[in-house]
Structure 1
Amino acid sequence: MKITVDIPVIETGDLVLRGYRDSDFEAFAAFGRSPRASYVGGPHTRWDSWRAFMAGIGHWALRGYGMWMIEHRDSRQVAGRVGMILNDGWNEPELGWHIYDGFEGKGLACQAALAARDHAARHFGLDGVISYIDASNTRSLRLAERLGAQYERDGTVVGTPCQVWRHPRVAQPTAQPAEA
């Protein structure tokens, strides 16, 4: 029996944000082994990456939102992940992103994060969310600023010190009908 999880597809100029495929795992595991994964609790063993990959799918099933796989439209290669996560012990949902080797410095993380943030605000009610960012992760700090997020406070995530950045609200409040 195969259980399906409904993960919406979002398309931008250069990207397709979509659900998980078996064929995505090798790129996912390669990121997990890399030193860049140190900002997300890595580097990870292949087994740890597999569990994280499965958890990404399970997050959608349990919460109704999660992280999308980022596919580069022209090359059809997996370029990373982006989306909303709320893990056990976290204060509130987070907008997170991981860009895989070879896709950095092209504006793809910004494009993906803006699309994910907009969709989450408009369709999941997740607006004005946070990002947990390691203070030494200068690339993510610059991206948060580019996205209009502002430093809110120091915090911890999974026992690790981090900075908490607050994203601007995206969705316009629903206008109240005028009283007669």
Structure 2
Amino acid sequence: MIAALRSERLILRAWRPEDFPAYAAFVADEARTRFIGGPKDEWQAWTAFASLSGEWVLNGYGIFAIEIIETGELAGYAGLWQPHYLDEPELAWGLFAGFEGRGIATEAVLTVREWAADTLGLPPLMSFVHPRNTRSHKLLDRLGATPMTPTTLRDEPRLRFRHISPATERRY
């Protein structure tokens, strides 16, 4: 069963078939995907979309759809994923066009971090971020994440960040 999380302004929930058009538009946008592997065509988008639900079956956690409570709009995604080549889950997020600069990513990441610690019993999480993704670097800095050794992930350069424990985090 896929969890549903609620914060002050957001519902983090399972993906629904009607979410596919918004997700497909996001992953087709070159500017929005330049740091996460580049744009996808419709077939690749569907495969990636279906894998979002499959992650829950394989690992017991996954990536949530972010829904704005007030409007019901789909704003992006946040959650945990662990492909076969990672030895621990990554906390990942992304916002759809028009939802940046409103604290949505911060709120979603904090909600997932707390759930991962309190419900799943996971230790402090990590995130991989492209070296040029300055928006994500700033978010991670605000949330107290610590930069670690640079690495390569699927032939792409990445900076690895370790999140702090929700028990010691600063709320923003």
The residue correspondences of 1:30-179 to structure 2 (distance < 5 A) are 30-34=25-29, 35-170=31-166
How big is the alpha-carbon RMSD for the aligned residues of Structure 1 and Structure 2? 1.2
Q: What do the CA deviations read for 1:32-74 (whole angstroms, capped 9, x no partner)?
A: 0112112111211111111111111000011000110000111
CA drift of 1:94 comes to: 0.5
Amino acid at match of 1:109: A
Structure 1 or 2, whichever has the larger Rg, is: 1
Secondary structure class of the residue paired with 1:48: helix
Secondary structure class of the residue paired with 1:95: strand
Match of 2:8 among 7, 13, 28: 13
Amino acid at match of 1:75: T
Secondary structure class of the residue paired with 2:150: strand
Q: What do the CA deviations read for 1:73-124 (whole angstroms, capped 9, x no partner)?
A: 1110110000011112123211000111011000000000000111011111
Q: TM-score, normalization: structure 2?
A: 0.93
Counterpart-to-counterpart distance in 2, 1:132 and 1:157: 8
Amino acid at match of 1:92: E
Runs of 4+ in 1 over 2 A off after TM superposition: none
Secondary structure class of the residue paired with 2:165: coil
CA drift of 1:125 comes to: 2.2
The answer on whether the counterparts of 1:59 and 1:85 sit within 8 Å (CA) in structure 2 is yes
Structure 2 gaps, min length 5: none
Q: What do the CA deviations read for 1:146-170 (whole angstroms, capped 9, x no partner)?
A: 1110101101111211100000122
Aligned residues: 167
Structure 1 gaps, min length 5: 1-5, 173-180
Counterpart-to-counterpart distance in 1, 2:48 and 2:167: 30
Q: TM-score, normalization: structure 1?
A: 0.89
Secondary structure class of the residue paired with 2:147: strand
Identity of aligned residues (%): 38
